[in-house]
Amino acid sequence: MKKHLVILGAQWGDEGKGKIVDLLSAEFDAVVRYQGGSNAGHTVVVKGEKFVLHLLPTGILHPHTIGIVAQGMVVDLELLVKETEELEGRGLKVWDRIFISDRAHLVMPYHKVLDSLFERKGKIGTTLRGIGPSYMFKYGRKGLRVCDLEDKDRAYQIMKDNIEFVQSLCEKVYCENHFLDLEEIFEKTVENYKKIRDRVIDTTHWLLKFDGKVLFEGAQGTMLDVDMGTYPYVTSSNASALGLSSGTGLPPKYFSEASFWAVSKAYTTRVGEGPFPTELKDELGERLREKGGEYGATTGRPRRCGWLDLPALKHAVDVNGLDGIIITKLDVLDSFEEIKVCVAYEYEGKSFDYFPASLSLLEKLKPVYKSFKGWLRNTKGAKSLSQLPKEALNYLEFIQSYLGVPIVMLSTGPQREEFFWLEEPALKS
């Protein structure tokens, strides 16, 4: 493994990144979130105690790590303060170990109003955390950045202009009045800013000078990436490796010193709308949801469930230039008599072995499955390949050989210690 490590989601989010980043953070000095915002929900279970992190890097649960909220994130200050204080309330010293980028954009209450309004037509099924509108304002050059809050007049003017714009959009386009109290929003924002002010720095230059080992924690997943995912049913940031450089402000060559791994469940889930070729809308999908506890960590929504989609996963391998894959939740498949894996798609007699861009085509594709005999044995908490049934090994070997990259780690339960490393030659491919 190289000095630094990037952990990404290989699917549509919720792959178990939080659990993996947490356990790996023991070996790292700093952990960086660099895209997305409080739409993320990263779950960690330590000694039976559950933590769900939305804005702070998951690695912060280890007392030695420094947590960075980098410039590519969109930050809801109120939630950031709340999350930090909640962790402090649970006995963790967090305030003096986090740094927040002065260049990060803020998620403001008016972004959340727009998020709800945009969902009325052409629903994406967003988390309603104001993420899309905050990035819209950023790229439309109307955004409010953390550093702007140092100059109160400037910050006030940006909020005033933004509120006027959002209110007139509500009135003229949606024929609704949404009163947004400028004074109250301004005061609240300033109040929250005071609490984080001494943690705000230029995180890019801090990282460039930092000599320690850094773990980069992706949020969402490659298939939700605004460029490489199932557009428009995506999030509004580059959730694949493509977002690393712009999201951190670090030059692309910095990442030549990083290994790139992505996390995938042993099956597939997705929350919200959008194409999902291997979705199971029947009793099998229901079983996966119940066995896997597939309910959103941020919104509590039931996740859509289906079989593993290898062409989609291969897309993630290619786009991210992956060095390795981490498979989670193998244990969820323990009671399935038959397990299927999508190896290609089909439409009008034509076979597709890649994940196409066109939504119209994606909606018509039918998965071509390879079937595996289930192992019908408990794999939860397994600590080595030798503890896995041969049917489970067959399943993993097929995945590895299809993807052409090694499975480097297997997660066998939600607890921090429920995992093991895989030696490359131990799993034939």
Alpha helices, DSSP H, located in 142-181? 152-174
CB of 33 to ligand GDP, least distance (A): 12
Residue 130 as a binder of Mg ion (CB under 5 A): the answer is no
**Residue span binding ligand IMO (CB under 6 A) among the ranges 24-32, 63-71, 72-80, 118-126:** 118-126
Residue entry with tokens 């998020």? 115
Residue 295's contacts (CB-CB under 8 Å, 6 or more residues apart) are 289, 301, 302, 303
Question: 99, 66 in Cβ contact below 8 A?
Answer: yes
Out of ligand GDP, Mg ion, ligand IMO, none, what residue 16 binds, judged by CB under 5 to 8 A for its kind, is ligand GDP
Answer for which of 13, 72, 285, 306 binds ligand IMO (CB under 6 A) is 13
Q: Look at residues 43, 107, 116 and name the one whose alpha carbon lies nearest to residue 69.
A: 107
CB of 12 to ligand IMO, least distance (A): 6
Out of ligand GDP, Mg ion, ligand IMO, none, what residue 304 binds, judged by CB under 5 to 8 A for its kind, is none
Question: 147, 104 in Cβ contact below 8 A?
Answer: no
Out of ligand IMO, ligand GDP, Mg ion, none, what residue 328 binds, judged by CB under 5 to 8 A for its kind, is ligand GDP
Question: 33, 219 in Cβ contact below 8 A?
Answer: yes
Distance CA 369, CA 364 (A): 16
- The 10 Å CB-count burial string (b at 16+, else e) for 318-330 is ebbebbbbbbbbb
Beta strands in 271-400 (DSSP E): 304-306, 308-309, 324-328, 338-347, 350-352, 366-373
Out of Mg ion, ligand IMO, ligand GDP, none, what residue 385 binds, judged by CB under 5 to 8 A for its kind, is none
Residue entry with tokens 């007139």? 168
Distance CA 198, CA 333 (A): 47
Residue 294 as a binder of Mg ion (CB under 5 A): the answer is no
Residues 120-159 that bind ligand IMO (CB under 6 A): 124-127, 129, 131-132
Out of Mg ion, ligand IMO, ligand GDP, none, what residue 180 binds, judged by CB under 5 to 8 A for its kind, is none
Tell me what percent of the chain is helix, strand and coil, each rounded to the nearest 5: 40, 20, 40
SS3 205: helix
| H/E stretch holding 216 | strand 214-217
If one counts every other C-beta atom within 10 angstroms of the C-beta of residue 110, the result is 25
Answer for which of 9, 285, 306, 367 binds ligand IMO (CB under 6 A) is 9
Residues 269-288 that bind ligand IMO (CB under 6 A): 271-272
- Helices 109-118 and 131-139 cross at an angle (nearest 10°) of 110
Out of Mg ion, ligand GDP, ligand IMO, none, what residue 271 binds, judged by CB under 5 to 8 A for its kind, is ligand IMO
Answer for which of 22, 30, 41, 304 binds ligand IMO (CB under 6 A) is 41
Residues 313-352 that bind ligand IMO (CB under 6 A): none
Site residues (CB under 6 A) for ligand GDP?
Answer: 9, 13-19, 41-43, 45, 293, 297, 328-329, 331-332, 411-414
Catalytic residue flag (residue 198): no
CB of 147 to ligand IMO, least distance (A): 24
DSSP state of 73: B
Tokens of 216: 């980069």
Residue 222 as a binder of ligand IMO (CB under 6 A): the answer is no
Residues 289-318 that bind ligand IMO (CB under 6 A): 297
Question: 213, 27 in Cβ contact below 8 A?
Answer: yes
Q: Which of 4, 22, 29, 42 is catalytic?
A: 42
Residue 37 as a binder of Mg ion (CB under 5 A): the answer is no
Out of ligand IMO, ligand GDP, Mg ion, none, what residue 224 binds, judged by CB under 5 to 8 A for its kind, is ligand IMO
Catalytic residue flag (residue 42): yes
What single-letter amino acid sits at 152? K
Residue 84 as a binder of ligand IMO (CB under 6 A): the answer is no
Q: Look at residues 36, 189, 176 and name the one whose alpha carbon lies nearest to residue 108.
A: 189
**Residue span binding Mg ion (CB under 5 A) among the ranges 25-33, 39-47, 57-65, 187-195:** 39-47
Question: 217, 56 in Cβ contact below 8 A?
Answer: no
Binding site for ligand IMO (CB under 6 A): 9, 13-14, 39-42, 124-127, 129, 131-132, 219-221, 224, 235-236, 271-272, 297
Q: Active-site residues: which are they?
A: 14, 42
Binding site for Mg ion (CB under 5 A): 14, 41, 297
